[in-house]
Amino acid sequence: MLSAVSSLVEVARAAGVSVSTASRVLTGSSHPISAKTRAKVIATAEKLGYSPSALARALVSRSSRLIGVLVSDIVNPYFSVIARGIDDVASRAGYVTMLSNVDRRTSTEISRLRTMRDYRAAGVIIAGSGFEADPLAPDLAVAVGQAKEQGIQAVSLTSRDLGCPVITADNEGAAHDVTDHLLSLGHRRIAFIEGPPGMTTSKQRRDGFLACMNAANLSDVARCLPGGFDFEAGHLAAMRLIARPPLPDAILAANDEAAVGALNALRQAGIDVPGEISVAGINDLRLARFVGLTTVSLPLYEMGAMAAQHVIDALPGDATTTLLSHRVIPRETTARRPPG
Amino acid sequence: MLSAVSSLVEVARAAGVSVSTASRVLTGSSHPISAKTRAKVIATAEKLGYSPSALARALVSRSSRLIGVLVSDIVNPYFSVIARGIDDVASRAGYVTMLSNVDRRTSTEISRLRTMRDYRAAGVIIAGSGFEADPLAPDLAVAVGQAKEQGIQAVSLTSRDLGCPVITADNEGAAHDVTDHLLSLGHRRIAFIEGPPGMTTSKQRRDGFLACMNAANLSDVARCLPGGFDFEAGHLAAMRLIARPPLPDAILAANDEAAVGALNALRQAGIDVPGEISVAGINDLRLARFVGLTTVSLPLYEMGAMAAQHVIDALPGDATTTLLSHRVIPRETTARRPPG
DNA sequence: AACGGCTAGGCAAACGTATGCCTTAACCGA
DNA sequence: TCGGTTAAGGCATACGTTTGCCTAGCCGTT
CA-closest candidate to residue A313, choices A165, A169, A168:
A165
pLDDT for A160: 74
Of all residues in chain B, the one with the smallest CA distance to A82 is B75
- Entry field: residues in chain A: 340
B172 neighbors B205 (Cβ within 8 angstroms)? yes
- Check B51 against A150: CB less than 8 A apart: yes
Q: Whole-number Å distance, CA A155 to C1' D17?
A: 30
- Check A290 against B287: CB less than 8 A apart: yes
- Check A80 against B74: CB less than 8 A apart: yes
pLDDT for A186: 94
How wide is the angle at C-alpha B48 spanned by C-alphas B46 and B51, nearest 5°? 75
**With helix as H, strand as E and coil as C, how does chain B read?**
CCCCCCCHHHHHHHHCCCHHHHHHHHHCCCCCCCHHHHHHHHHHHHHHCCCCCHHHHHHHHCCCCEEEEEECCCCCHHHHHHHHHHHHHHHHCCCEEEEEECCCCHHHHHHHHHHHHHCCCCEEEEECCCECCCCCHHHHHHHHHHHHHCCCEEEECCCCCCCCCEEEECHHHHHHHHHHHHHHCCCCCEEEECCCCCEHHHHHHHHHHHHHHHHCCCCCCCEEECCCCCHHHHHHHHHHHHHCCCCCCEEEECCHHHHHHHHHHHHHCCCCCCCCCEEECCECCHHHHHHCCEEEECCHHHHHHHHHHHHHCCCCCCCCEEEECCEEECCCCCCCCCCC
Residue A101: list chain B partners with CB under 8 A. Answer: 84, 87-88, 91
- Check A87 against B101: CB less than 8 A apart: yes
What is the helix (H) or strand (E) element at residue A67, kind and residue range? strand A66-71
pLDDT for A10: 95
Q: What is the mean pLDDT of chain B?
A: 93
Tens-place pLDDT, residues B4-43: 568 999 999 999 999 999 999 999 988 989 999 999 999 9
**Nucleotide nearest B59, from its CA to each C1':** D15
- Check B101 against A91: CB less than 8 A apart: yes
pLDDT for B131: 74
- Check A96 against B97: CB less than 8 A apart: no
Say how many Å lie between the first and final Cα of chain B, rounded. 80
- Nearest CB to B96: which of A81, A100, A290? A100
- Check B290 against A80: CB less than 8 A apart: no
* Alpha-carbon distance A179 to nearest alpha carbon in chain B (angstroms): 24
pLDDT for B3: 43
**Nucleotide nearest A34, from its CA to each C1':** C8
A147 neighbors A114 (Cβ within 8 angstroms)? no
Q: Phi, psi (5° rounding) for residue A162?
A: -110, 0
Reading chain A (340 residues) residue by residue, the pLDDT tens digits are 334 468 999 999 999 999 999 999 999 988 989 999 999 999 999 999 999 999 999 999 999 999 999 999 999 999 999 999 999 999 999 999 999 999 989 999 999 999 999 999 999 999 986 777 788 888 999 999 999 999 999 999 987 788 899 999 999 999 999 999 999 999 999 999 999 998 889 999 999 999 999 999 999 999 999 999 999 999 999 999 999 989 999 999 999 999 999 999 999 999 999 999 999 999 999 889 888 999 999 999 999 999 999 999 988 777 789 999 999 999 999 999 887 6
Tens-place pLDDT, residues B100-127: 999 989 999 999 999 999 999 999 999 9
pLDDT for A5: 65
Window B48-67, strand C contacts by Cβ < 7 Å: 50-53, 56-57, 59-61
Task: Kindly indicate the confidence band of residue B1, based on its pLDDT and cuts at 50, 70 and 90.
Answer: very low
How wide is the angle at C-alpha B42 spanned by C-alphas B38 and B47, nearest 5°? 150
What's the rounded Cα separation, in Å, for the pair B34 and B196? Answer: 64
Tens-place pLDDT, residues B272-309: 999 999 999 999 998 898 889 999 999 999 999 999 99
Window B61-120, strand D contacts by Cβ < 7 Å: 62
Q: Is residue A71 exposed (0-12), middle (13-18) or buried (19+ Cβ within 10 Å)?
A: buried
**pTM confidence score:** 0.94
Window A18-57, strand D contacts by Cβ < 7 Å: 19-20, 23-24, 26-27, 29, 31, 50-53, 56-57
- Given a cut of 90, whether residue B89 has pLDDT beyond it is yes
Q: What is the largest CA-CA distance in chain B?
A: 90
| Angle, helices B77-92/A77-92, rounded to nearest 10 degrees | 80
What's the rounded Cα separation, in Å, for the pair A59 and B319? Answer: 36
The bridge status of strand B166-169 relative to strand A96-101 is unpaired
Q: Chain A interface, mutation test: which of B69, B118, B144, most A Cβ atoms within 10 Å?
A: B118
CA-closest candidate to residue B286, choices A48, A327, A75:
A75
Of all residues in chain B, the one with the smallest CA distance to A301 is B75
**Helix, coil or strand: residue A292:** coil
Q: What is the largest CA-CA distance in chain A?
A: 90
Q: Whole-number Å distance, CA B94 to C1' C17?
A: 18
Tens-place pLDDT, residues A78-135: 999 999 999 999 999 999 999 999 998 999 999 999 999 999 999 999 998 677 778 8
- Given a cut of 60, whether residue B2 has pLDDT beyond it is no
Average pLDDT over residues B45-63: 95
Nucleic strand C within 7 A of Cβ B8: yes
Q: Whole-number Å distance, CA B151 to C1' C14?
A: 28
Of all residues in chain B, the one with the smallest CA distance to A292 is B264
> Cis omega before residue A246 (within 30°)?
yes
